[in-house]
Every structure is written in C-alpha cells, then in structure tokens.
C-alpha cells in the first residue's frame, strides 16, 4: 500500500502502525490499554489483517475494511464496517444498532473484553470480506 493523498485514504502499513502506536501512547488513561488489547486481538485473529490509518483513526482491513477504532472521552469504539451482516451470538454489538450496514461495540472503563467472542467476530468480518460463508 502506498501513501495516498486523497482524504480518507490509507497510509502505508508501517506508517499506519506508527500512527496507531502514537495514538495508544498519547492516551494516558484506561483507553490506551483497551485500544492496545483490541488491536492485539484483531491482529491475532487472522494473519491477513492489515493495519491502516484512515479518516484520522486506526483501521484494520483484510480484503476490505473490517473495523475502525476510535477513542472518545467515555468509550473506545470499534465500528465494524459490515457489522449488520455479521453473526453476533455473544451480543457484543451495543452501539449503532439502528444502522443498516455498520455496527459498533463501545468499551467503557472497567469493562472486560470477551476475547473469544471478539476474535470470532473479527474472523467473521474477514470471512465476509473474502466472500466466505459465515
């Protein structure tokens, strides 16, 4: 991937990872470790996952956008690009539920991450992007 000059375009993988590292480092409260943990789970879920920096935020793709990771004062939000199409038996999606395409998970201070369910959700997003049966 090369550096692109259009708004919303992704940076190359090394630059994107550096931006994400810097973002995590700049968060001097609970949000940094939470974003770091989610990032770790996303990257472990599938070896084809690529880190990107799009729209001024962390993003992860595998043959298409999986999700973005935004940080707000009260939440770390993971927005899944095609979340409405993904199976969510553990009920992780708790935000943007009215959308026809996207779904999000808001992580609040002190909440844990169900690593197995989250990993399954990321894998389902990757499979969807690859045109595989969910």
Q: Where are the domains of the chain?
A: 13-129
* pLDDT score at 101: 96
Average pLDDT, the chain: 91
* pLDDT score at 11: 58
How sure is the predictor about 12, in pLDDT bands with cuts at 50, 70 and 90? low
* pLDDT score at 8: 47
Q: What's the CATH class of domain 13-129?
A: alpha beta
Strand partners, 77: 70, 106
Q: How far apart are CA 120 and CA 52, in angstroms?
A: 21
Instruction: Give the pTM.
Output: 0.88
How sure is the predictor about 1, in pLDDT bands with cuts at 50, 70 and 90? very low
* pLDDT score at 2: 32
């Amino acid at each position: 991937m090369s550096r692109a000059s259009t708004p919303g375009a992704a940076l190359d993988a090394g630059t994107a990872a550096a931006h994400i590292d810097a973002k995590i480092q700049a968060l001097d409260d609970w949000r940094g470790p939470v974003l770091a943990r989610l990032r770790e789970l996303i990257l472990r879920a599938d070896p084809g996952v690529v880190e990107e920096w799009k729209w001024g935020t962390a993003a992860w793709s595998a043959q298409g956008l999986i999700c973005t990771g935004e940080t707000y004062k009260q939440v770390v939000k993971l927005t899944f690009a095609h979340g409405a199409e993904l199976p969510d038996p553990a009920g992780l999606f708790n935000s943007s539920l009215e959308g026809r395409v996207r779904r999000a998970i808001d992580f609040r201070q002190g909440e844990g991450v169900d690593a197995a369910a989250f990993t399954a959700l990321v894998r389902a997003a990757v499979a969807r992007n690859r045109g595989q049966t969910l």
